[in-house]
Amino acid sequence: MDKRRIIIIAVAALALIAFYVYWLKLHPAPKYIIAKRKAAAVSIKKKAPALPPIIKKVKQPQVAIVMDDFGYNMNNIEEFFAIKQPITLSILPDLAYSTKIAETAHSHGYEAILHLPLEPHRKDVRQEIDTIKSGMGKNEIIARLRKEMETVPYIVGVSNHMGSKSTEEKGLMITIFEELKKKGLYFFDSLTSRESVCSQAAKLTGIRYARRDLFLDNSEDIPYIEKQMMTLRKTAFAHRKVIAVCHDRKNTIATLAKFMPLMARDGIRFVYLSELAS
């Protein structure tokens, strides 16, 4: 093919393309077809990944997630609020940001509880200031409890921070629960000890009580947390009501932000802890 013929073919092709573009301008697709195409494109972009199928024995199970250890800083608070799901904040007392976080959570409509430092069996862990310990008199226990509650306003309940030793001592826990009853607060047992007597003490004092079913982030690795979220989902559809505990950590919050909306679409109803305390 000579050079002249190639040029003629190229010019003809360009002319044909130009004519087609001009024709489309004069004869646009009907509006309903354009709208349908746009809707399909948006749908493809927004389509969420599906969770793996599981046996769902109950419909709309309730799940409460409690996030411990707020109070040291404000680093993750905006990411926390961005999840836009009911998560109960558990705030340590008398820290640099304890009061501010409680006030901020309240202003955003979130439920908060006091994460009360109680004595552990282990001696190799750092304990918080004013940790309530075995052997303290009733007046000292109450004084410390009241002081710590003052630093975390708007709380609706109290949970134990550490406390594997304290939660095994019925007299100590009854002293705490009698004070909580005066304030109309419930108690959430993190179950740091299998020998916890908190359930018995709650019945004796007549306060509302709840206990942990699952830890989500004993490891900070995202694959581990994701695996625990799938365990939470399976447990929820098997048992109707589940309470999970996690911590104020970047990877934990990122994983919750990813999975909670998917699990909500899957039929799980996330609630604040107070709805599951009885």
Mean pLDDT on 15-38: 58
Sorted by where each starts, the structural domains of the chain and their CATH numbers stand as 3-46 (no CATH), 62-275 (3.20.20.370)
d(C-alpha 146, C-alpha 133), whole Å? 15
H or E element: which one contains 73?
Answer: none
d(C-alpha 22, C-alpha 19), whole Å? 5
Whole-number percent of the chain with pLDDT over 90? 80
Average pLDDT, the chain: 90
Q: Is 85 helix (H, G, I), strand (E, B) or coil?
A: coil
Query: What pLDDT score does 39 carry?
Result: 53
Q: Is 144 helix (H, G, I), strand (E, B) or coil?
A: helix
Query: What pLDDT score does 50 carry?
Result: 81
Give the residue with greater pLDDT, 129 vs 70.
Answer: 70
Q: How many residues does the chain have?
A: 278
pLDDT digits (tens, 9 = 90+) for 147-195: 999 999 999 999 999 999 999 999 999 999 999 999 999 999 999 999 9
> For residue 159, which phi and psi values (nearest 5 degrees)?
-130, 165
Task: Identify whether the C-beta of residue 164 lies closer than 8 Å to the C-beta of residue 109.
Answer: no
Question: Concatenated DSSP letters for 179-209?
Answer: HHHHHT-EEEE--S-TT--HHHHHHHHT--E
